[in-house]
Chains A and B, each alone.
Chain A
Amino acid sequence: MGSYLVQRMLLMIPTFVGITLIGFLIMRLAPGDPAELRAAGGLGAAGGAGISLEKRGAVDEAMAQWRAQYGLDRPLHVQYLVWLENLFTLNFGESFKDSQPVWGKIAERLPVTIKLNLWSILIVYLVAIPLGIYSAIYANSAGDQITTVLAFGLFAVPLVWAATMAIVFICGGDFYYLFPPGGVESVDFSEHWSFWRKFQDHAWHLFLPVVLLSYSGFAALSRYMRSSMLEVLRQDYVQVARAKGLKERVVICKHVLRNSLIPQVTLLADLLPGLIGGSVIIETIFSIPGLGQLGFESVLARDYPTVLALFTVSAVLTLIGILISDLLLAVVDPRIAFGRRQQ
């Protein structure tokens, strides 16, 4: 087990370097010089077409100084190596926007996003697995067909539409006020509240974002669960189990379920990138101060260090997700243990 873990983690190093390299190159090679943008923002004029020559000279000097301060005047590969080196001490540099350390900003916002995503994953599995089991046991029944159609329909519902509809119809507005239109806690939230009341308040605020983040996931996962279960149900050993007189309940719970759950474990890794993308949309719409919102704001402000750091953090989260699902797979399926993950 230990050597398997080490092997998996070593394989992740080139992947990680590749991801950060792609992110780094995109940031640096994109048109639009951050120094120029900053100068233009500071002067309140675009580019500096309206200012005199000597002022332009001063601006250029300030820009050069600023570039030197952030190391932007060095060759690209040196910049990348310096960035990688700093990474080991979690030093992502300073934000271009407010000169705050980037890691501090991320650490502040990480918990909400992780909370949001963990709840979503939990709900995805809690809803999808029983639904898939039901669909497979009663395959082609009316109930199965309804869940199939529903899952398929849900999968095609655009997240931005679902979120907008929720905001318009059930979050205040002119219709119903069932859930708050944004934020993670009430305005009058206080630390002195009892645990139960705090929990209630958070649950009330996070309910919609979590449901919205997870619906496309459970639509997909319930389909996978159904087909994997149907595949197992066709196996000979299930027939044997039935033939020797086991109750259907025992056949399903003891023989079929275990084997059909195995592939679902690896889907965790496929869920994560989608959840991170969804977080950007959901956190922006519901003004939840998480990584997604920070990412969107930094992208708009061209705050390269922050964007690159977020890119790295979400890639690391995804890689951890893949690692966890591989390890879980090795735990639940002795046949695959310690071998390479199958494509």
Chain B
Amino acid sequence: MSRAQLTPELRGPENAANAEDVVAEGLWSDVWRRFKHNPIALAGFYAVCVLACMALFADFIANDKPYYLHYRGKSYFPILRSYLVGLGIGQWPEELPRIDFKKLEGATAFYPPIPYRPTNISLLEPLEPPSAKHWFGTDKLGRDVAAGMIHGSRISLSIGFVAVGIAALIGIVLGAIAGYFGSWTDLAISRFFEIMLSIPTFFLLITIAALLPPSIFLTMAIIGATSWVGMARFTRNEFLRIRNLDYVTAAVALGVSDRKVMFKHILPNALAPVIVSVVFGIGGAILVESSLSFLGIGVPAEAVTWGSILQEGSTTTFAWWLAVFPGFAIFITVLAYYLVGEGLREVLDPRLRGLR
């Protein structure tokens, strides 16, 4: 906000004296410029960035291996080393243990802020309330909840992105075909949309997820395959509107192929409402994933996700920390995406332009 106010060249096109400046500016820089004038949406955007970083650097925030280890006169960087070993480039030093670094005697080590992995079972301290040692307490196997949540953000975010990516692909292609060709094609595909709209989606989802073997990738695919209808309808309506514009008629008259007209000429102009529903869709997919893993279907049983911690909280009712923290994480994540989506909607919706 404050930076934008300091730089006069970033002022809106309303203030620009020269009309050519407005034309020269791309849609997305225009969107970003107006988006960042909305502090709430911007807060959502930053929250999304922080969450993405948390997922990306989960190994550096919560890990049972130290960043740096000095042991018997030699220095090691176990976390980095574990990446190399994982990629098949490096070897694990023979003299180092693979599992428990904390039992090494006479070693100097710097640990991440949460010195546990979600898989570290410690049966001696089950269901411990939050303390300095375990910030968010432990579950009934003594696993650190904070570590589980940090690593669980990976599952949530990747499911959100991949599922919505799949949904957007299906939705945009089907919507584009229906809207561009119109008449019978449109009628048939619209019938299909209506079927998908009347299907109790969540029930369909748990049915497929429970019938197939538990897997994160299958869960992503299933959520994607059941949540594209909204995007398809937006795309269809935009295509119906745009295909009658003069520039499309001109392109068709010039002999440009259908596919090129659809995806090179119309789609870029039809994307705005789709993008809004993509952003909302990511939040929705994260919500659905949390419900699925709460019910214990879809995601493998050994994977620690926000939903699975929450599930344990609902059965061990005295352990309030199992209910409060993971649920709050889901809430904040979903809210962040919704705020970004709402901000984008205000910026992108031509009917709302100039109202603010």
Give the number of chain B interface residues (Cβ < 8 Å): 48
The stretch of A18-26, A122-130, A200-208, A256-264 in contact with B is A18-26
A-B contact pairs, 14 of them (CB 8 A): A19-B198, A23-B204, A158-B290, A158-B327, A159-B291, A160-B311, A161-B290, A161-B326, A277-B202, A281-B295, A299-B210, A314-B200, A314-B203, A318-B198
B195 engages A280 (CB within 8 Å): no
A156, B283: Cβ atoms closer than 8 Å: yes
Q: Which of A276-309 contact B (CB under 8 A)?
A: 276-278, 280-281, 284-285, 295-296, 299-300, 302, 307
Min C-beta distance of A125 to chain B, whole Å: 21
> Which of A156, A169, A277, A307 has the most B CB atoms < 10 Å from its CB?
A156
List residues of chain B with CB within 8 A of the CB of A19: 195, 198-199
CB distance from A295 to the nearest CB of B (A): 6
Q: A318–B198 Cα gap in the complex (Å)?
A: 6
B317 with A160: CB separation less than 8 A: no
A165 interface residue per 8 A CB criterion: yes
Name the segment of B66-74, B136-144, B145-153, B329-337 touching the other chain: B329-337
Q: Which of A155, A167, A168 counts the most chain B CB atoms within 10 A?
A: A168
B202, B212, B327: the one contacting A165 at CB < 8 Å is B327
Cβ-based interface call for A334 (8 A):
no
Which 9 pairs of residues, A with B, have the shortest CB-CB distance?
A277-B202, A161-B327, A173-B317, A30-B211, A156-B335, A18-B195, A160-B294, A164-B314, A314-B200
Nearest CB in chain A: distance from B110 CB, A: 35
Bound together, the chains give a CA A26 to CA B225 distance in angstroms of 13
Interface of B is mostly: helix
Q: How far is the CB of A222 from chain B (nearest CB, A)?
A: 15
- Asked whether A179 is an interface residue with its Cβ less than 8 Å from the other chain, the reply is no
A171-B314 Cα distance, complex, nearest whole Å: 11
Report A-chain residues with C-beta under 8 Å of the C-beta of B213: 31
Instruction: Write the chain A residue with the least CB distance to B313.
Output: A164
A307 and B297 alpha carbons, distance in the complex (Å) = 16
Shortest Cβ gap from A166 to chain B (Å): 9
A174 at the interface (CB under 8 A from B): yes
> Which residues of chain A from 139 to 175 have a CB within 8 Å of any chain B CB?
152-153, 155-165, 167-169, 171-175
Determine if A7 is an interface residue (Cβ-Cβ < 8 Å).
no
Chain B's closest residue to A278 (CB) is: B202
B125: interface (CB < 8 Å): no
A310: which B residues are within 8 A, CB to CB? 203
Residues of A within 8 A of B247 (CB): none
Q: Is the interface of A mostly helix, strand, loop or mixed?
A: helix
Known: A152-B339, A156-B331, A168-B317. A26 touches B324 (CB 8 A): no
User: Residues of B at under 8 Å CB distance from A?
Assistant: 191-192, 194-195, 197-204, 206-208, 210-213, 233, 237, 283, 287, 290-291, 294-295, 297, 307, 310-311, 313-314, 317-318, 320, 323-324, 326-328, 330-331, 334-335, 338-339, 342
Complex contact B342–A161 (CB within 8 A): no
Contacts of B295 in A (CB 8 A): 280-281, 284, 296
New contact pairs (5) apart from A160-B311, A276-B203, CB-CB < 8 Å: A19-B195, A19-B199, A23-B207, A174-B317, A280-B206
| Contact present for A153 and B233 (CB under 8 Å) | no
CB pair B191–A343 under 8 Å, yes or no, is: no
A164's contact among B192, B206, B237, B327, by CB below 8 Å, is which? B327
Cα-based distance from A151 to B24 in the complex (angstroms): 39
Q: B198 contacts A281, CB within 8 Å?
A: no
By beta carbon, the residue of chain A nearest B194 is A15
A322 touches B310 (CB 8 A): no
Inside 8 A of A168's CB, which chain B residues have their CB? 313-314, 317, 320, 323
